[in-house]
Homo-oligomer: A and B are copies of this chain.
Amino acid sequence: MGMRESTRDRMLDAAEELFFSRGIAATPVDAVIARAGVSTATMYRGFPSKEALVAAALERRERAWIVTWDAAVDAAGSEAERLLAVFDALDDFRAERDSARWCAFLGAAAEHVDADEEVAAAVRADTEAFRIRLERLAADVAPGLEHELAESLLLVISGHLAMRLRDPSQSSATARRVAHAVIAAIAQAPAL
């Protein structure tokens, strides 16, 4: 019933590269199959549907993103720098793969509006994981206000990713500057 790991990897590689750079709806299953060098039957034996393939690709990307993020946080110094390291991770992640011109989860959320429970669940899981990790880092910078700070930073990061959707070459400098202002405002004036 299963499929060989190398085959599965090739399929997910192709799915990631095509779905998340050209768009999910705009990429036919045939294109993924051709890119992976796999037959139609093989794909449908490994994944029940296109949607399942999309969800699997999203989940694998989520795990890869966490690894990149963790590495950037570990490389940072102060608590504030560890919090801002998410922008380094964003840059690293984009540099590593062509398909990360913009956020796959943002794109998936925009394409699958109210439908597709499997994909929607992956998007929700990503957002939640993101928020929780931000809160953990924010607690070291602004104890007691980590919820507020994390929510604000989540908005800044989403804004950066949304800007990238229109202009994929956009640097993270503006986002970093905004994030810095937010951290300063919350950390320096905790009574605000």
Residues of A participating in the B interface, judged by any CB pair closer than 8 Å: 21-23, 25-26, 106-107, 109-115, 123-124, 127, 151-152, 154-163, 165-166, 174-175, 177-178, 180-182, 184-186
Copies in the complex: 2
Task: Verify B111–A165 contact, CB threshold 8 A.
Answer: no
Task: Verify A110–B113 contact, CB threshold 8 A.
Answer: no
Residues of B contacting A180 in the complex (Cβ-Cβ under 8 angstroms): 185
Residue from the list B25, B154, B174 in contact with A155, Cβ < 8 A: B174
Task: Verify B25–A165 contact, CB threshold 8 A.
Answer: no
From A186, which residue of chain B is reached at the shortest CB distance? B181
Residues of B contacting A152 in the complex (Cβ-Cβ under 8 angstroms): 174, 177-178, 181
CA distance A180 to B181 in the complex (A): 10
Residues of B contacting A157 in the complex (Cβ-Cβ under 8 angstroms): 159
Residue from the list B115, B127, B158, B182 in contact with A26, Cβ < 8 A: B115
